Chain A
Amino acid sequence: MTKSYDVVMVGGGHNGLICATYLAKAGRRVLVLEANEQLGGGAATREFHPGFSVSACAQWMYSLNPTIAKDLNLASHGLQYAAKNLHSIALAKDAKHVTITGEGGVEGVSAQDKAAYREFRRKMGKFSKLLDKLFTVRPPKVIENNWTDRINLLKIGLGVKLLGKADMYELLRLGLINMFDVMEETFDDELLKSLISFDGVLGAHMGPRSPGTVYGYLYRHMGDVYGFNGPALVKGGMGSVGVALANAATAAGVEIRSAARVKSIDLTAERASGVTLENGESISATLVVSNADPKTTFNNLVGRRNLETNTVRRVKNFRTKASAAKLHLALDGLPEFTGLSAGQVGNRLVIAPDMHHIERAFNCAKYGEFSTAPVLDISIATVHDKGLAPEGKHVLSAIVQFAPGQLKAGWTEATKNAFKELAINTIADYAPGIKELIIASELLTPADLEGEYNMTDGHWHHGDISLDQVVMMRPFPGSEQYGTPVDGLYLCGAGAHPGGNVMGLAGKNAANEIIKRGGSA
């Protein structure tokens, strides 16, 4: 059976669905092909034990672009929050926890640190707003530019100027450096420094001392511009995002096929002309848009022999050093954390005692080892969303860093179990009775995430968000405005500007670019 479409989308992750929906709204006939049964890609709900479900990959919602939510009418398509504006609580063994509240304040520190935090947030908020200007457009070309680029550059340049001299100097100074130094010069409380700097290294192959982590922090905090005052929980788990997006897409006329794994992107006279599925079926289209990560797209789907050697080299040099694992626990009851009330455990709980601790945890990852003292970002979603577990039971989901995708010893049952034990023991240090509550547990290493969600090396962002891999360098020079070196092939996933997290802008920007180029460009 051969059927022709304007656009065939490879991958039904959130960016793919968003891109497809915008394209369909612009009148394109779009087909989305998703390898898994479930849509949403990294926004997934997983029943890891009968009756117990968790958000398997991304666990918080904190930066979905509100324009997208509105344009796609996601609320009416079923996107509901079980909780919003949650606190982030850095756990202390002596129960002197530090809390960043949903209202943007901080508790448990000195008045001086409270004031410093307000000023820090004010500054960072301004920078985030500026980043928003950059994130909502295609990365401007600086040399071979056209009017669109020039206007975008002008807007961003003007935005920089409008920061005012003092904040502009701060942006130039801080924009490219590390969290460690900024924390040291701004705050006194070690736990607060650690909690804030942790946001700069989440999902990254970096420690607080790595230059570029301030960018990582700003990236993580785009939600502050998008109406999120702290993390939110999606009702039914992150998989509901996929469902809502799929509903929106279908309503816009997008055709969706799940469990349809694309084997190759086909070329006709060096132009992308369609795809072939694993079952042998060929589908032709005027354009192919890939929501898959750049390595998968170029190496596996297009094939390196159809690419320039220079491109092959750039794809290979695109770094995908994933360092985050996921821990899932099915619990017989709500665990007790020292110094936290039952009402508080539903917040975002962070175990990262101080910045040196995070840095040392990262040290291990540099040498292909998992952290001997990992840092964790914990969510007990069942506090807010009872439906994820049987009555009275709970699920705990945690991001555990650092766990390199390419573990030197290899991810075997033994190494997995060892790291899982380590993670559970670390939680037990703060929630002493938790082990007795565990009914079932699983650890998803980056290697597992790769297998489950088809992301190279299990990298959430499809590739490191480090300064040499952002904006016009994402995924690499020569493939920077969603178009690729292959005519007729576009990227719309986290491997393209502005990158990952459930933000949706890569998908939206890609759609805009495709629509702008018109016809069959």
Chain B
Amino acid sequence: MSEVSVQQANDRETMLIHTPFHSRSSALNKLNSWENWKGFMVAHEYDDYELEYFAIRSQTGVMDLTPMTKYRITGPDAEAYLNRLVTRDVTKIKVGRVGYTVWCNSDGQVMDDGTIFHLAEDEYRLCSYTHCIDWLMWSAEGFDVEIVDETKQVAALAVQGPTSCSCLMAMGLEGIENLKPFGLTTFPFEGGELMVSRTGFTGDLGYELWVEPALAEALWDQLFAAGKQYLIRPFGLYALDMARKEAGFIQAAVDFVPAEDQVRVGRTRSPFEIGLGWLVDFNKPFFNGRKALLKEKENGSRYRFVMLDIEGNKPANNSFILNKKGKVIGTVTSAGWCPSAKANVAFGQVDAKYGEIGEELITEIYYERELHWTKVLAKSVVVKGPMYDPPRRRATPPAPF
């Protein structure tokens, strides 16, 4: 008996980790369909990914965001530190604001993308895809900052969809309707504090809620109680992936290789090459990758990020991208059907000579029907913005529904 409990205690430390919402999410996971997100157990799908997706677009969808890698960065040099770390001008992210950014190595190649939350004077949270505290610590040499991995210490929910603001208002979060995109605010909650940011990865009106793990279940319960009339429902990672592609969001390790994890020379990309050149600010003080990026800006990039509107409805995963003469000029990194935009989208990497907005390219798609394979050379037009970008995403205050 005692041996078993010792084993459990030991195993538990290395098992797939349950998030603080597990009691709630597992009760609702009718399919028992889970995914491993950086070592945490999160729903892949609760009962029907399509309905989950449409909750994001038509009602309110809730996703367990706890596994998001979170670092707390504090100290007198926190701002200077972050400003040297990332490509954006961090001094422009005021207290109470959130900024999306990328960070690079000395070759100007993207290591990761993520968000910086300016929580208070000299206090930030950095959310990333990769586990990168080693890089953050190396970068901290010579700065008076403290960096703590607080992934497990902060429970988080994404609350996304047209009725999300209504849900939060119904929950009693007074004034939430005035929170602007990329703003953050706090509310007293069950003797603790609830932080709400108007951020998300779905491209819709939405919020992210952050609390200490002890309050996680209460948060879930109150949110779902308040949101019942607004048709709140949980969604899994599958629905999120559909939404992010439709919204034009790239993902680390899918749409680019994190730079310092590269094995083969030349497989990484600069911010300019993944469509995030707008995040590079040469008018701010020194930052990692600056010299290389300036050089690239002068001499031109090797690759170009394209968002393709592909004719037909066959998903273009793992496809080659051809020019009109049929020459391979790149590959697709993410692809999928956009249920709201009713479009067939793909993100791709092409030779920088190609991929001007409006250019017509060809995507080589293979698909199978009853063991019968068909190859299509689908006309694909390079488009500028995301496939789906509803005005409610930015409206403050948002319309009730």
Contacts and interface: CB of A to CB of B under 8 A. Distances in A.
Is the pairing of A and B real?
yes
Interface stretch (A47-55, A300-308, A328-336, A440-448): A300-308
A312 B289 CA distance: 13
Nearest to A478: B106
A308 B289 contact: yes
A310 B142 contact: no
A309 B142 contact: no
Nearest to B135: A309
Contacts of A311: 106
A267 B285 CA distance: 11
Nearest to A298: B142
Contact of B286 (A270, A313, A316, A478): A270
Contacts of A73: none
Given A303-B142, A304-B142, A316-B141, A309 B80 contact: no
A306 B135 CA distance: 16
Counting chain B CB atoms within 10 Å of each CB, the highest count among A267, A270, A304, A305 belongs to: A305
B57 interface: no
Contacts of A304: 141-143
Contacts of B286: 267, 270, 305-306
Interface string A485-517: 101000000000000000000000000000000
A309 B290 contact: no
A270 B141 contact: no
A305 B84 contact: yes
Interface of B: 77, 80-81, 84-85, 105-106, 135, 138-139, 141-143, 286, 288-291
A299 interface: yes
A308 B293 CA distance: 13
Contacts of A267: 286
Nearest to B136: A309
Interface string A469-490: 0000000001000000101000
Contacts of A308: 105-106, 288-289, 291
Contacts of A305: 77, 80-81, 84, 142-143, 286
Interface string A133-149: 00000000000000000
Contacts of A316: 138, 141
Given A305-B80, A305-B84, A312 B139 contact: yes
Interface residues of A, number: 17
Given A308-B106, A485-B106, A270 B142 contact: no
A299 B142 CA distance: 8
B117 to A, nearest CB: 22
A305 B84 CA distance: 7
Nearest to A313: B138
B83 to A, nearest CB: 9
A332 to B, nearest CB: 51
A107 to B, nearest CB: 53
A312 B80 CA distance: 16
B265 to A, nearest CB: 11
A478 B84 CA distance: 20
A312 B291 contact: no
Nearest to B85: A309
Contacts of B143: 304-305
A267 B84 CA distance: 15
A316 B286 CA distance: 20
Contacts of B141: 304, 312-313, 316
A395 to B, nearest CB: 42
A313 B139 CA distance: 8
B367 to A, nearest CB: 43
6 contacts: A305-B77, A305-B142, A308-B288, A309-B105, A312-B139, A478-B106
A158 B143 CA distance: 49
A316 B141 CA distance: 9
A70 to B, nearest CB: 40
A311 B291 CA distance: 13
Nearest to B291: A270
B282 to A, nearest CB: 10
Nearest to B83: A305
B73 to A, nearest CB: 15
Contact of B106 (A299, A303, A309, A487): A309
Contacts of B290: 270
A306 B106 CA distance: 12
Contacts of A313: 138, 141
Nearest to B294: A270
Nearest to A309: B139
A225 B356 CA distance: 62
Contacts of A485: 106, 291
Given A305-B84, A306-B286, A312 B135 contact: no
Given A299-B142, A308-B106, 8 more contacts: A304-B143, A305-B80, A305-B84, A306-B286, A308-B291, A309-B135, A313-B141, A487-B291
Given A270-B286, A270-B290, A304-B142, A310 B80 contact: no
Contacts of A270: 286, 290-291
A309 B291 contact: no
A221 B77 CA distance: 49
A312 B139 CA distance: 8
Interface in A258-304: 267, 270, 299, 303-304
Contacts of B81: 305
Interface string A311-328: 111001000000000000
A310 B142 CA distance: 13
Contacts of B288: 308-310
Contacts of B84: 305
Nearest to B142: A304
Nearest to A487: B291
Contacts of B135: 309
A487 B291 CA distance: 10
A427 to B, nearest CB: 42
Counting chain A CB atoms within 10 Å of each CB, the highest count among B81, B143, B286, B290 belongs to: B286
B105 A312 contact: no
Nearest to B107: A310
A310 B291 contact: no
Nearest to B111: A309
A319 to B, nearest CB: 16
A312 B81 CA distance: 13
Nearest to A315: B141
A316 B142 CA distance: 11
A310 B143 CA distance: 15
A373 B84 CA distance: 49
Nearest to B108: A308
6 tightest A-B CB contacts, nearest first: A304-B142, A308-B106, A310-B106, A309-B139, A312-B141, A313-B138
Contact of B138 (A303, A312, A478, A487): A312
A267 B286 CA distance: 10
A68 to B, nearest CB: 34
A306 B139 CA distance: 11
A307 B72 CA distance: 23
A310 to B, nearest CB: 4
A129 B84 CA distance: 46
B103 to A, nearest CB: 9
Nearest to B134: A313
Counting chain B CB atoms within 10 Å of each CB, the highest count among A299, A303, A312, A487 belongs to: A312
B288 to A, nearest CB: 5
Counting chain B CB atoms within 10 Å of each CB, the highest count among A270, A310, A313, A487 belongs to: A310
Nearest to B105: A310
Contacts of A478: 106
Contacts of B142: 299, 303-305, 312
A480 to B, nearest CB: 15
Contacts of B106: 308-311, 478, 485
